[in-house]
A = this chain, B = another copy of it.
Amino acid sequence: MKRYDDDDDRVWNCGAWFEYILVVVVSSILLIAASVLTIFWTIYYRKGFNMDDPKLQFNLHPVLMIGGYITLSGFCKRLPVPSVDNSWTECFIHVLIVVAILLYRICRCCSHLIVKLCHTFFHACSIPCIVIGFMAVWDSHNQQQIPNFYSLHSWLGMITMGLFALQFVLGFFSFLILLCCENATYKFRSTMVPIHASFGVATFMLAIATAVTGLTQKAHFELGENYSQTVEEGIIMNSIGVILTGLGIIIPFAVRRSNSPANCKVYVTERI
């Protein structure tokens, strides 16, 4: 608890709170909208899911990658509120259920370890989504004899998955396993914090770039000439892309905004 001793020195003014709540609410809406719109698109326009039909099996790919990876991991990003241990998921739940200003007090009661475990748990939930999402497109391509790994989308996707796996393994090792000898590993863990946070945001942004190229590719494959006639499905797909790009901007901004009311020292230590 020692590292939060100087909590009361920092007073958040109205502007900082307004910005904080705005970022939480807007990014929550965008994260949910991206998933809902993708599910709607695959079910309404792409005829839903069926593992026996390679074309419908493909539809698992965007849903699991956007819903299971981007939305889940977006909610897991930690907002740098001084002396408040909160994950995005907690923030979101709290914003929904309490008057926003109460968040500060409520988040204080969660232990740092519980927040860490939540962060790990939600990222662990992404793993089956990513694996099944990847297998769905791989199998669907093979059955239709479409080659793999030729497009910009697939290249970016491979880099994203590799970085995610590395982040998960290194994060699990550094911030959970090494807790067994807490004092001896303190310095190493504090060095790892900014690296883990930066690569986490990098992975998220790579995922967004992968998703927008995937959507563009799918629009050209499925809609062909109709895409240029501004059909309804094209508008839905473009909207998913715009929402995802919005997320690619707001999440990194929320995670490390330059006008953070915290000073840098606290900012780093509170996230170890």
Asked if B209 and A155 sit within 8 Å, CB to CB, the answer is no
User: Residues of B contacting A34 with CB < 8 Å?
Assistant: none
Which residues, 236 to 272 on A, are CB-close (under 8 Å) to B? 237-238, 241-242, 245, 248-249, 252-253, 255-260, 262-265, 267-268
A111 within 8 A of B: no
User: Residues of B contacting A206 with CB < 8 Å?
Assistant: 245, 249
Asked if B215 and A217 sit within 8 Å, CB to CB, the answer is no
Nearest Cβ on chain B to A101's Cβ, whole angstroms = 22
Q: Is the interface of A mostly helix, strand, loop or mixed?
A: helix
A205 within 8 A of B: yes
Asked if A147 and B237 sit within 8 Å, CB to CB, the answer is no
Asked if A216 and B268 sit within 8 Å, CB to CB, the answer is no
- Of the candidates B159, B217, B258, B260, the one whose C-beta lies within 8 Å of that of A216 is B217
- Of the candidates B146, B255, B268, the one whose C-beta lies within 8 Å of that of A259 is B268
Residues of chain A at interface, number, CB under 8 A: 53
Asked if B257 and A198 sit within 8 Å, CB to CB, the answer is yes
A268 to B16, CA, bound (A): 15
- Of the candidates B80, B155, B202, B230, the one whose C-beta lies within 8 Å of that of A150 is B230
A255 to B252, CA, bound (A): 12
Asked if A146 and B228 sit within 8 Å, CB to CB, the answer is yes
Asked if A241 and B156 sit within 8 Å, CB to CB, the answer is yes
Known A-B contacts A216-B216, A258-B268; the reply to A152 vs B198 at CB < 8 A is: no
Which residue among A216, A242, A248 has the maximum number of chain B CB atoms within 10 Å of its CB?
A: A216
User: Residues of B contacting A198 with CB < 8 Å?
Assistant: 253, 257-259
Asked if B238 and A151 sit within 8 Å, CB to CB, the answer is yes
A234 to B152, CA, bound (A): 8
A197 to B238, CA, bound (A): 27
A267 to B256, CA, bound (A): 13
A186 within 8 A of B: no
A102 to B84, CA, bound (A): 40
Which residues, 63 to 81 on A, are CB-close (under 8 Å) to B? 80
Asked if B150 and A241 sit within 8 Å, CB to CB, the answer is no
Known A-B contacts A216-B216, A241-B156, A264-B262; the reply to A151 vs B249 at CB < 8 A is: no
A194 within 8 A of B: yes
- Of the candidates B147, B249, B260, B262, the one whose C-beta lies within 8 Å of that of A230 is B147
